[in-house]
């Protein structure tokens, strides 16, 4: 599978395996190790985490596989995120959900992730959500310290607008590696807000969460889901796709911004199906047919 260079020092696999729901998959450590190795065999070497996933449990579950296993660790790239504080029995001091991008919290979160993941470095650390109370100078100081100490090798953001991305970038003396955003045939927000144009301008390759639109298109009875499903099924037949999920992935992969979709499944067959979609090619007209179905009207 293709590797995509985000910086001169970091390349991620074109598909990324996401572990948001890892705690729900009920895998033993051995089963999880097998799944990770199967992903790597498919060329999916990048794994997406966040400190809060699974109510602050997923990093630790994943880390059990890496304990004393440097060979496996060296075959992968680990992405994780920080900046959200959840209401949780693990953190009873959190009375509400809120964001924390203070220097001390970013450093503490990164160091906790290193401990839980049983690794000596994080390949890519993202600020999970735009923080309306962010002090970008503090974020820059935290990033610089973690980078100097070799604890985090690259940094980026998630769910940022062009203005928020540019603002934080202006405080750094190295490039932000990516912006992880929601994008799919059912979510066109970042075309509409100028984010895709901005990332093309800045040569930023975005990671993509919820590339299958949260699953709503598969069975949704609303007008948009039904319209998209019919169009995707038609095009699946035209290009030889095994299902509409492959067409949804192919639609993202076709775009010149170089989307890196995150596969959030613990089932190997679904991961394989996603990986196989790299071989599918949409014509420009087919790409716009899907866009038209999403919008519910032809382009101007």
pLDDT tens digits, one per residue of 206-226: 999 999 999 999 999 999 999
Q: In sequence order, what DSSP letters do the residues of 114-141 get, joined into one string?
A: HHHHT-S-BSEEEE-S--TT--HHHHHH
Residue 89: predicted pLDDT: 87
Q: Which of 147, 164, 163 is nearest to 155 (CA)?
A: 147
> How large a percentage of the chain has pLDDT more than 70?
100
Alpha helices, H only, the chain: 29-41, 53-56, 58-66, 70-73, 103-117, 136-148, 162-169, 189-192, 195-202, 216-219, 223-239, 244-253, 268-276, 284-295
For 34-44, what is the mean pLDDT? 98
Q: Which residues are catalytic?
A: 53
Do residues 144 and 103 make contact, with C-beta atoms less than 8 angstroms apart? no
Do residues 48 and 19 make contact, with C-beta atoms less than 8 angstroms apart? yes
1-10: b or e for each residue (b if 16 or more CB lie within 10 Å)? Answer: eeebebbeeb
**What does the DSSP 8-state code read for residue 215?**
G
Q: Band of the pLDDT at 242, cuts 50, 70, 90?
A: very high
Tally Cβ neighbours within 10 Å of residue 102: 18
How does pLDDT run across 80-96, given as a tens digit for each residue?
A: 999 999 998 889 999 99
Q: Band of the pLDDT at 129, cuts 50, 70, 90?
A: very high
- Token pair of 125, please? 């650390």
Task: Measure Cα distances from 284 to 177, 241, 281 in Å.
Answer: 29, 17, 10
Q: If phi over 0 gives left and psi between -120 and 50 gives alpha, with beta otherwise, what is residue 172?
A: beta
For 242-261, what is the mean pLDDT? 98
Domain made up of 3-177: CATH architecture:
Alpha-Beta Barrel (3.20)
Q: Residue for token digits 């990671």?
A: 207
For 252-270, what is the mean pLDDT? 97
pLDDT for residue 107 is more than 90: yes
Q: Measure the N-to-C terminal CA separation of the chain; round to a whole number of Å.
A: 37
Rounded distance between C-alpha atoms, residue 47 and residue 13, angstroms:
9
Q: Residue for token digits 């304990």?
A: 67
Rounded distance between C-alpha atoms, residue 23 and residue 236, angstroms:
33
CA 243 to chain centre: 22
Residue 247: predicted pLDDT: 98
Per-domain boundaries in the chain: 3-177
For 247-251, what is the mean pLDDT? 98
Residue 212: predicted pLDDT: 97
- Token pair of 221, please? 């009875």
How does pLDDT run across 22-38, given as a tens digit for each residue?
A: 999 999 999 999 999 99
Tally Cβ neighbours within 10 Å of residue 221: 7
> How large a percentage of the chain has pLDDT more than 90?
98
């Amino acid at each position: 599978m293709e590797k995509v260079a985000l910086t001169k020092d970091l390349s991620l696999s074109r598909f990324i395996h996401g572990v948001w729901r890892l705690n729900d998959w009920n895998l033993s450590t051995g089963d999880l190790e097998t799944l990770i190795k199967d992903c790597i065999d498919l060329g999916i070497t990048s794994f997406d985490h966040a400190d809060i996933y699974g109510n602050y449990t997923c990093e630790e579950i994943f880390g059990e596989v890496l304990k004393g296993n440097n060979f496996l660790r060296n075959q992968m790239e680990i992405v994780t995120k920080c900046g959200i504080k959840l209401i949780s029995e693990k953190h009873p001091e959190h009375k509400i959900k809120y964001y924390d991008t203070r220097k001390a919290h970013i450093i503490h979160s990164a160091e906790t992730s290193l401990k839980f993941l049983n690794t000596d470095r994080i390949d890519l650390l993202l600020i999970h959500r735009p923080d309306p109370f962010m002090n970008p100078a503090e974020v820059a100081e935290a990033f610089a310290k973690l980078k100097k100490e070799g604890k985090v090798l690259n940094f980026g953001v998630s769910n940022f607008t062009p203005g928020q991305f540019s603002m934080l970038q202006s405080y750094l003396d190295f490039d932000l590696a990516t912006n992880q955003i929601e994008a799919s045939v059912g979510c066109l927000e970042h075309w509409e807000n100028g984010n895709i144009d901005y990332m093309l301008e800045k040569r930023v390759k975005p990671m993509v969460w919820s590339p299958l639109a949260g699953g709503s298109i598969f069975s949704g009875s609303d007008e948009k889901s039904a319209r998209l499903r019919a169009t995707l099924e038609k095009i699946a037949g035209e290009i030889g796709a095994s299902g509409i999920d492959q067409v949804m992935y192919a639609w993202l992969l076709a775009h010149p911004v170089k989307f890196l979709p995150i596969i959030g499944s613990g089932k190997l067959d679904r991961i394989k199906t996603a990986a196989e979609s790299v071989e599918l090619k949409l014509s420009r007209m087919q790409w716009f047919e899907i866009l038209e179905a999403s919008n519910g009207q032809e382009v101007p």
